[in-house]
Amino acid sequence: MAENPVALDCELCVEVLAGVAVTGGSATGPTSPFFSRLVHRTSVVDVIAGLGALAPGYLLVLPRQHVESVGELDLQDLAHAYRVARELAVIVRRRFGCRVALVEHGSSGLAGSSKACIAHAHIHLFPYPPGREGAEFVAPGSEAVEGLDALRSAAVRGQNYYYCSLAGQEGRILVNPELPSQFARQRWASMLDVADKWDWLIYPQLETVTSTMDVLRRDLTHEGSQLHETLLGYSAMASDYVRRTSVFPKNSVLKDEIARLSDLAEGSILDAGAGGGRDSLLFAKLGRDVIALDACPDFVAALPKNDRIRPMLGDIRALPLEAESVGGVWCSAVLLHLDQSDVEVAFEEFFRVLRPGGVMYASVKEGSGRDTREAYGASERLLHFFFYRAETLTEIAMDVGFEVLETWTGDEPDSSGEVTSWVKVLLRKAAE
Ligand SMILES: [Zn+2]
Ligand SMILES: [Zn+2]
């Protein structure tokens, strides 16, 4: 398959994979100049703006080889495709202020029984208003599944499936679904109060398609992305930073705070934004298993080798972790590099991965507004900071569903040695 990945009778293969521009067309023929709707490309998938965009942010994630369900990919590529879909969902949610449902109707079953709208495997990203129930996308009779194994087994058995995953939840799958044509698009159209416009062939909505591309292409190339610039800054000064932060500052209360979280939390601890791993190491010494996650590859590579520390490269806005898989979250100082909408997304992610009864600690620099500084030792690189008041942080936490156990402030040197006032919160996800 990999040797000849493109099927010439497949519209999506011809359009995207073979690089032929899309027709700005409808069922009755071309209605606009040709254009490419490719938004993003990885080694495994293409992300394109979906035709029939009833709302901005509508995307399709498709494998760059002709398969009829994402479940046909090997496990690594399957996981990659869904990881990209989830990451894009985060970006869409931020940019368009919506929620996003992932839906795939895999068509590896017998021809003729397939109800997919296109034969080439694709994951839909449906943006929908925050006030609506994402559960409307779930096919009646679906069962909850963890991970993606069920997609793979259905595909291997030559079965069709309908899979739906909502933010912060495991997926639901229906194998051998008997659903009306474009079922998910019909549900989507009615959620958006345009129930008669579900058919993408008749209503391609090209203006929304192009505006979606314009916005997301800009985001994905990271133009103006301050978080991306900050990460480059940390990369440039990684060894210096790791050295500076390898021991706790004198009279630091951080050690006590780590011990406190360790006492309160059961199960493994997520050190979210682990940096050089100083805090992870203390958790490990306290006998805890730690997932030491950072978005900067140089930090992950420099993490201390320890049986209890599991290094992980990842973004706190799209955690590569199962729901309810950790008992505690330690997020020290990291959120100060995120603007408020990113902090909201990160808190949703922390809430998702925490098991019921789990606890979380977060600290940020106290204040309002923002600041930009040169990375030390790398003056061509900038670090961006956002300041938060305790009320803002607790409001975000409560919106996500956290219980606020305690809020306090304290002075402590930051990684550059400057004494700073910090806001700290201790949160809990209610036990079921
Ligand atoms: Zn194809
Ligand atoms: Zn489809």
pLDDT tens over the chain, length 432 residues? 344 466 767 778 777 666 554 555 444 455 555 667 888 877 788 889 998 999 999 999 999 889 999 999 999 899 989 988 988 888 898 889 898 999 999 888 765 444 456 789 999 999 999 888 888 999 999 999 988 999 999 999 999 999 999 865 679 999 999 888 889 999 999 999 999 998 888 888 888 998 898 888 777 655 446 777 788 888 888 988 999 899 998 888 999 999 999 999 999 999 999 999 999 999 999 999 999 999 888 899 899 999 999 998 888 887 778 889 999 999 999 999 998 878 988 998 899 899 999 999 999 999 998 888 888 777 777 888 999 999 999 999 999 999 999 999 999 888 888 888 999 999 999 997
**119: containing domain:** 11-218
Query: What is the number of the ligand closest to the CA of 184?
Result: 2
Distance 125 CA to ligand 2 centre (A): 10
Distance 120 CA to ligand 2 centre (A): 9
Q: What is the DSSP letter of 21?
A: P
109: domain CATH number?
A: 3.30.428.10
Q: Are residues 57 and 203 part of one domain?
A: yes
Q: What is the pLDDT of residues 385-421, one digit of tens each?
A: 999 999 999 999 999 999 999 999 999 888 888 888 9
Q: Return the biggest CA–CA distance within the chain.
A: 74
Query: What is the number of the ligand closest to the CA of 8?
Result: 1
DSSP codes of every residue in 203-229: ---HHHHHHHHHHHHHHHTTTT-HHHH
Which of 160, 189, 218 delimits the end of a domain? Answer: 218
* Any domain includes 351: yes
* Any domain includes 3: no
Instruction: Kindly state the tokens that stand for 213.
Output: 């591309």
Q: Are residues 41 and 16 part of one domain?
A: yes
296: domain CATH number?
A: 3.40.50.150
Residue showing tokens 């997609």? 151
- Cα-flanking dihedrals φ and ψ of residue 420, to 5°? -135, 150
Residues 45, 46, 48, 52: what is their CA dihedral angle, to the nearest 10 degrees? -50
Query: What is the number of the ligand closest to the CA of 116?
Result: 2
- Coil/strand/helix, residue 383: strand
Q: Are residues 245 and 159 part of one domain?
A: no
Residue showing tokens 């912060």? 168
Q: Helix 390-400 vs helix 340-353: angle between axes, to the nearest 10 degrees? A: 50
Q: Are residues 296 and 177 part of one domain?
A: no
- What is the distance between the alpha carbons of residues 394 and 111, in angstroms, rounded to a whole number? 53
* Any domain includes 2: no
Residue showing tokens 């008997």? 178
Distance 340 CA to ligand 1 centre (A): 40
Distance 56 CA to ligand 2 centre (A): 17
Instruction: Kindly state the tokens that stand for 418.
Output: 């400057």
Q: Are residues 277 and 199 part of one domain?
A: no
Q: How many domains does the chain have?
A: 2
Q: Are residues 233 and 214 part of one domain?
A: no
Whether 94 and 249 have beta carbons less than 8 Å apart is answered as: no
Distance 71 CA to ligand 1 centre (A): 15
Query: What is the number of the ligand closest to the CA of 13?
Result: 1
Counting Cα atoms < 13 Å in the Cβ hemisphere of 101 gives: 25
Distance 4 CA to ligand 1 centre (A): 11
